[in-house]
């Protein structure tokens, strides 16, 4: 009986949040503009979206061979497309796991992505891997986003 009563009291709050949307509050902890990242992002409200790893892979496999800038831009275009389908934008990204075949690409990655995030920088983790699914790929990015 107590459980049913608790649910009945809680139900209007659930319906209100769904019916009117949730306000998302983000707090960027220790933002580092020079690195285009934050140490952490605290989020209140919204829905978490866990994206699969995205790469620059396209049917024309050799088009971006060895070109980091092209691969980063294509990868973020694909991420943007996935987020659009989920109702989000690049600014909803709160965390990135970036897998690179060479960590010496980090300064170039930072330069290329600095202008992508208008409302604050996500928390970013970089990891070096020996190779990715295709030999021409230099990086794979796995984002987490929070959308309204």
At how many degrees (to 10) do helices 106-113 and 68-86 cross? 50
For 113, the token pair is 């992505």
User: Is pLDDT at 28 greater than 50 in this prediction?
Assistant: yes
The CATH architecture annotation of domain 21-147 reads: 2-Layer Sandwich (3.30)
pLDDT in tens, 48-66: 999 999 999 765 655 567 7
Q: Pick 29 or 140 by higher pLDDT.
A: 140
pLDDT in tens, 70-99: 999 999 999 999 999 999 999 999 999 999
Give the pLDDT score at 17: 42
Give the pLDDT score at 18: 44
Give the pLDDT score at 21: 58
Give the pLDDT score at 122: 94
- N residues, the chain: 148
- Look up residue 119 and give its DSSP letter: S
The ranges assigned to domains in the chain are 21-147
Give the pLDDT score at 63: 55
| pTM flag (> 0.75) | yes
For 92, the token pair is 């909803």
- Cα(49)–Cα(147) distance, integer angstroms: 7
pLDDT in tens, 91-141: 999 999 999 999 999 999 999 998 898 888 999 999 999 999 888 899 999
């Amino acid at each position: 009986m107590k459980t049913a009563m608790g649910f009945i009291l809680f139900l209007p709050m659930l319906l209100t949040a769904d019916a009117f949307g949730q306000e998302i509050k983000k707090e960027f902890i220790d933002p580092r503009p020079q690195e285009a990242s934050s140490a952490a992002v605290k989020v209140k409200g919204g829905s978490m979206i866990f994206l699969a790893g995205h790469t620059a892979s396209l049917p024309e496999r050799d088009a971006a061979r060895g070109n980091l800038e092209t691969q980063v831009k294509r990868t973020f275009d694909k991420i943007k497309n996935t987020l659009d389908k989920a109702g989000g934008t690049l600014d909803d990204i709160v965390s990135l796991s970036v897998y690179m075949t060479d960590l010496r690409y980090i300064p170039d990655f930072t330069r290329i992505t600095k202008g992508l995030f208008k409302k604050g920088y996500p928390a970013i983790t970089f990891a070096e891997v020996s190779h990715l699914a295709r030999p021409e790929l230099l990086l794979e990015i796995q984002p987490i986003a929070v959308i309204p």
